[in-house]
Amino acid sequence: MSETPAPPSLSARALAARPAPYLEGLNPAQRAAVEALEGPVLMLAGAGTGKTRALTARIAHLLSLGKARPNEILAVTFTNKAAREMKERLGRLLGESIEGLPWLGTFHAICVKLLRRHAELVGLKSNFTILDTDDQIRLLKQLILAENIDEKRWPARMLAGLIDGWKNRALTPEKVKGADAASFNNYGGELYTAYQARLRALNAVDFGDLLLHVVTIFQTHPDVLAQYQRWFRFILVDEYQDTNVAQYLWLRLLAQGHRNICCVGDDDQSIYGWRGAEVGNILRFEKDFPGATVIRLEQNYRSTEHILAAASGLIAANAGRLGKTLWTEAEGGAKVRLIGHWDGEEEARWIGDEVEAVQRGTRGADPVGLNGQAILVRASHQMRAFEDRFLTIGLPYRVIGGPRFYERQEIRDAMAYFRLAVSPEDDLAFERVVNVPKRGLGDKAVQTVQATAREDGTSLLEAARYVVASGRIGGKGAGQLRGFVEGVDRWHRAVRAGAPHEALAETILDESGYTAMWQADKSPEAPGRLENLKELIKALEQFENLQGFLEHVSLIMDNASEDAAEKVSIMTLHAAKGLEFPAVFLPGWEDGLFPSQRSMDEGGLKALEEERRLAYVGITRAEQLCTISFAGNRRVYGQWQSALPSRFIDELPAVHVEVLTPPGLYGGGYGAAARSAASSIEERAARADVYASPGWKRMQERAALRPMAQPRAARHMTIDLDAVSEFEPGARVFHQKFGYGTVLLTEGDKLSVAFDKAGEKKLLASFVVAASAADDVPF
Ligand code: ATP
Ligand code: MG
């Protein structure tokens, strides 16, 4: 692609004299994308070709040419982490801190800000609360029950999924028609309407509303839209292939005026179809914006040759794609490594050792620090094995986007208190903590408050105030409820008066008795919970006020720990989009887990292609070392399962793959299995031989000797441990803590045992031994 000359403006001449640092090293196509400032631009290119880098340089160019002020640039990234990184990169490029890019962030973060400014246009107040999934489900449950629908058959989660889907498609309740409205036992549309009304009454929104409301405002208030069309003079969007309909409409509305919109993406990396993303959006760009400049990049700067070739070979199996050629100057390097393990624990053990080996530089490459290494999993339940193993060997790690700190009970309770202090009418927060710690309020007292609120159309707090004053409830509970109401009033006044928020947060937890509740608790978890509460107060430091903090928490999709210490990262493949690491581990490549059986059951071939794109995203995160592994047995939600190596392993071009033989007695079998799987690209039929290998047979013999999964050449076989359990009802067993007991019932791998001293317990069979053997067990 030839270089497009910059317009000969004064500042451009100045730039030509001393090339701007952000233009240095860009290839001609990237430079063209940076310099084509006016009009629509689409950069459609493969992984690691420098799309994000060019997009960042474009912002730097706009700023340094004075084409736009920082607040006139709207830049959308996919995660908060990506937004942070882009800000840092810009700071480095421009040699100054760029505090002033207020509109660089995720769709959600940007929409929160817009909605706070115009909340009244959709019937909300500007201090609306953002509900998390838990609150949302609770609310939906109430509505389902109110309709007398059997929540067991028609669960709230299912309704939440439907509503989310409609919001992703920018459908307000009025627009949900036909089969959609008739879904959920005919109540879909009706419940959606009721839910939106209830949210409005609570002055609350859910995640999907953030976009939906803003799109609605833009569609119904042309004056507001026009104001932002003028305001955001340049629009830039990263990872455009993953926008859903609502996001697409939002962008199109904003860009219609000046048409200065630059979108970058890769159709091969579209991985959010399951959440409503439409890869068609990127393919339609030239139709939406006629005359668009389309730029394709082909040089990959991230990965070495074999890694890139393996990824390209894999994605070639997808039918619905534009198809691109990628090349790299980084010739040679390590092949993609493939290794098979007996089970998930062994895989975690091996990866733990390997991370340390890579860190020491004993893997034929330069040493790679922990920050440069990542483990990318398909399903978050895979993370636990790694966390456990790394804790055991003292390997520092961070989990990104995993089970989050903010989802723990004590944190959610504390946050409910903070939410009440900020918005006293937050009924969900009120319900959560009115009796935590116990305030002597029985169900009846709470029902009285709820009924009063319904009758009077007020918030629960107001209702509680009235109920206490009018003596509708009496006794000890009344006094404590009065104390609670007065507390919330006091805290709210303090928030409004701008009291220092960290001190206030601590006061709230003390005055409410919440901290004391955990101090008095003698359970083993209590000290940890108190630690977490301290952490929470610490986290507040970085924010200006409580509201800013609450907003942040509702928005974080990734909880990358901020400290600079070297740590290996564990995250899902979805969370790894756009990132890069010198060394990447991709565990769990087994059919059923990856590609995910659940996705394929729901989405068929389309879903399989999305899974393959996810594999492509995974491999292309690696710069120098990419290691794929699979295990023959895995414990998933308490059940042993055995599986075949992933079909994606078959699809990797064998010449770019090196098969490793795992250490240990039984590993050889999987080494052979892996070798056979990898080399079978031409001889797929030979794959069946995997299960005829001597190693595999040895493992079968071993499996027969112990109560464990029986590997079989069948897909997704769930093995019931009961079949091999030695315990029958009536058997005498011994448990380390509970002592001797008698088995009452066996249920899968669980037992009900009547212990002689400790009473009846349910536990995993593997935690007890036969009573006769108890003397021999070295506990
Ligand atoms: P993805 O599709 O995974 O999001 P991307 O196309 O956004 O990838 P970047 O993350 O922008 O790619 O770039 C990949 C790597 O290549 C980065 O480390 C980046 O700094 C580097 N890079 C990009 N362009 C160049 C260039 N012209 N010269 C040298 N390095 C480059
Ligand atoms: Mg990118």
| Tens digit of each residue's pLDDT (9 = 90 or more) over 563-597 | 557 899 999 899 899 999 999 999 999 998 999 98
| DSSP string for residues in 410-444 | HHHHHHHHHHHHH-TT-HHHHHHHTTSS--S--HH
Measured by CA distance, the residue closest to atom 26 of ligand 1 is 26
**Which of the residue ranges 86-95, 134-143, 244-253, 559-568 would you say has the lowest mean pLDDT?**
559-568
* Whether the predicted pLDDT of 714 surpasses 50: no
* Pocket flag, ligand 1, residue 28 (CB < 6 Å): no
* Pocket flag, ligand 1, residue 299 (CB < 6 Å): no
Q: Does domain 720-774 correspond to CATH entry 2.40.160?
A: no
Is 269 tagged catalytic?
Answer: yes
Alpha carbon distance 491, 421 (integer Å): 5
**Which of the residue ranges 108-122, 226-240, 260-274, 693-707 would you say has the lowest mean pLDDT?**
693-707
Confidence of residue 737 (pLDDT cuts 50, 70, 90): low
Measured by CA distance, the residue closest to atom 4 of ligand 1 is 578
End-to-end CA distance of the chain: 70
* Whether the predicted pLDDT of 524 surpasses 90: no
73 versus 641: the higher-pLDDT residue is: 73
643 versus 195: the higher-pLDDT residue is: 195
- Residues paired with 41 in a beta bridge: 262, 293
Tokens for 185, please give them. Answer: 């036992």
Among the bound ligands, the one closest to the CA of 31: 1
Is 239 tagged catalytic?
Answer: yes
Active-site residue among 49, 56, 136, 269? 269
**Which of the residue ranges 491-495, 519-523, 594-598 would you say has the lowest mean pLDDT?**
519-523
Active-site residue among 206, 239, 266, 410? 239
Active-site residue among 58, 335, 363, 621? 621
Q: Are 514 and 475 in contact (CB under 8 A)?
A: no
For residue 363, give Cα distances in angstroms to 76, 154, 370, 626, 725. 38, 53, 14, 12, 42
pLDDT score at 726: 59
* Pocket flag, ligand 1, residue 725 (CB < 6 Å): no
Span 124-182, pLDDT tens digits = 999 898 887 777 888 998 899 999 998 888 988 899 999 999 999 999 999 999 999 99
- Residues paired with 571 in a beta bridge: 376, 400
Tokens for 482, please give them. Answer: 């009065």
Q: What is the mean pLDDT of the chain?
A: 82
* Pocket flag, ligand 1, residue 135 (CB < 6 Å): no
Q: Are 343 and 552 in contact (CB under 8 A)?
A: no
Span 278-288, pLDDT tens digits = 888 888 898 99
Mean pLDDT of 303-321: 91
* Whether the predicted pLDDT of 485 surpasses 70: yes
pLDDT score at 1: 37
> 49: CA distance to ligand 2 center in Å?
8
pLDDT score at 662: 64
475 versus 105: the higher-pLDDT residue is: 105
Q: Are 763 and 751 in contact (CB under 8 A)?
A: yes
Measured by CA distance, the residue closest to atom 27 of ligand 1 is 26
Mean pLDDT of 432-457: 90
- Residues paired with 341 in a beta bridge: 631
* Pocket flag, ligand 1, residue 324 (CB < 6 Å): no
Confidence of residue 698 (pLDDT cuts 50, 70, 90): very low
pLDDT score at 749: 64
Alpha carbon distance 551, 113 (integer Å): 10
> 346: CA distance to ligand 2 center in Å?
33
Mean pLDDT of 61-79: 91
The secondary structure of residue 603, as a DSSP letter, is H
**Percentage, residues of the chain above pLDDT 70:** 82
ω before 40 within 30° of 0 (cis)? no
* Pocket flag, ligand 1, residue 64 (CB < 6 Å): no
pLDDT score at 96: 64
Tokens for 553, please give them. Answer: 């928490």
Measured by CA distance, the residue closest to atom 16 of ligand 1 is 301
- Residue among 53, 56, 77 to mutate when testing ligand 1 (max atoms within 8 A of CB): 53
Q: What CATH class is the domain 407-553?
A: mainly alpha
Is 51 tagged catalytic?
Answer: yes
Confidence of residue 458 (pLDDT cuts 50, 70, 90): very high
Mean pLDDT of 288-299: 92
Among the bound ligands, the one closest to the CA of 576: 1
**Which of the residue ranges 27-36, 308-317, 754-763 would you say has the lowest mean pLDDT?**
754-763
pLDDT score at 138: 83
pLDDT score at 33: 93
- Helical spans, DSSP H, in 541-593: 546-555
* Whether the predicted pLDDT of 779 surpasses 60: no
pLDDT score at 411: 86
Alpha carbon distance 413, 36 (integer Å): 51
Mean pLDDT of 761-776: 59
Mean pLDDT of 713-741: 53
Looking at the CA of residue 46, tell me the nearest atom of ligand 1: 2
pLDDT score at 506: 93
Is 700 tagged catalytic?
Answer: no
pLDDT score at 119: 96
> 61: CA distance to ligand 2 center in Å?
18
| Homologous superfamily in CATH for domain 308-404+560-694 | P-loop containing nucleotide triphosphate hydrolases (3.40.50.300)
Confidence of residue 774 (pLDDT cuts 50, 70, 90): very low
Span 340-370, pLDDT tens digits = 998 888 999 999 999 999 999 887 778 999 9
Candidate ranges 83-87, 267-271, 598-602; pick with highest mean pLDDT: 267-271
Measured by CA distance, the residue closest to atom 15 of ligand 1 is 302
What predicted TM-score, i.e. pTM, was given to this entire model? 0.71
* Pocket flag, ligand 1, residue 27 (CB < 6 Å): yes
Q: Of 650, 592, 579, which Cα lies nearest the Cα of 618?
A: 579
> Is it true that 26-112+214-298 and 308-404+560-694 share their CATH fold?
yes
Looking at the CA of residue 30, tell me the nearest atom of ligand 1: 27
**Which of the residue ranges 417-426, 672-681, 758-767 would you say has the lowest mean pLDDT?**
672-681
Q: Does domain 26-112+214-298 correspond to CATH entry 3.30.2000.10?
A: no
pLDDT score at 580: 95
CATH topology of domain 129-202: Arc Repressor Mutant, subunit A (1.10.10)
* Whether the predicted pLDDT of 558 surpasses 80: no
Measured by CA distance, the residue closest to atom 18 of ligand 1 is 302
> 51: CA distance to ligand 2 center in Å?
5
Mean pLDDT of 448-466: 93
Span 719-728, pLDDT tens digits = 222 233 456 7
pLDDT score at 766: 61
Looking at the CA of residue 54, tell me the nearest atom of ligand 1: 11
For residue 305, give Cα distances in angstroms to 347, 359, 625, 649. 26, 22, 11, 18
* Pocket flag, ligand 1, residue 49 (CB < 6 Å): yes
* Pocket flag, ligand 1, residue 52 (CB < 6 Å): yes
- Residue among 30, 240, 301 to mutate when testing ligand 1 (max atoms within 8 A of CB): 301
Among the bound ligands, the one closest to the CA of 44: 1
For residue 271, give Cα distances in angstroms to 274, 309, 614, 623. 8, 21, 6, 21
Domain ranges of the chain: 26-112+214-298, 129-202, 308-404+560-694, 407-553, 720-774
Mean pLDDT of 105-131: 94
* Pocket flag, ligand 1, residue 92 (CB < 6 Å): no
